[in-house]
Copies of this chain bind each other. A is one copy, B any other.
């Protein structure tokens, strides 16, 4: 029959362990300083685990990013009932809590590093709460009646840019980013108001 050979250690739970460890190392040291040897050591296994469970470093990072998008989506969904302004506030809060991960997700740092992109469906899902909020505000007559998806992408871009600039530490080093962000959120709201 099928001799069971030696017991399996590269299990699904190790997979999750590797994801968690990698996300932690990315957020602590930045993606550049994360090596497979460190990840494996921190998870108490060897580098082969990454290859048997993910396929390689780029797939591991992609999985981490996809998890990031899911966490981000949940954060957005939780803030959905607070309206567009609430989504904006939650957006920045999540980004500041996961700075390196956010850059990995949106900053193109991943694509710059290795040849991989976030899974399109997962990334698109993260936008759903915003699109829904836009559509809702349009139905209530409070927002310009342009295509909801287009308005959502534009608003997302505007908000993303503010957060991205803050994280990249480009611009005046003494800037009061919270104040800038709030003023910008108001301006975005005015800009798209019906």
In this complex, how many residues of chain A approach chain B with their Cβ under 8 Å: the count is 60
Can you tell how many copies of this chain the complex includes?
Answer: 2
> B112 touching A188 by the CB < 8 A rule?
no
Interface residue? A9 (CB, 8 A): no
Complex CA–CA separation, A14 to B164 (angstroms): 35
Interface digits, A134-159 against B, CB 8 Å rule (1 contact, 0 not)?
00000000001010011101101111
Main secondary structure of the interface of A (DSSP, over half): helix
Known A107-B109, A112-B112, A170-B106; judge A165-B153 contact (CB<8 A). Answer: yes
A interface residues (Cβ-Cβ under 8 A, vs B): 30-32, 100, 103-109, 111-115, 117-118, 120, 123-124, 127, 144, 146, 149-151, 153-154, 156-173, 175-176, 179-180, 183-184, 186-192
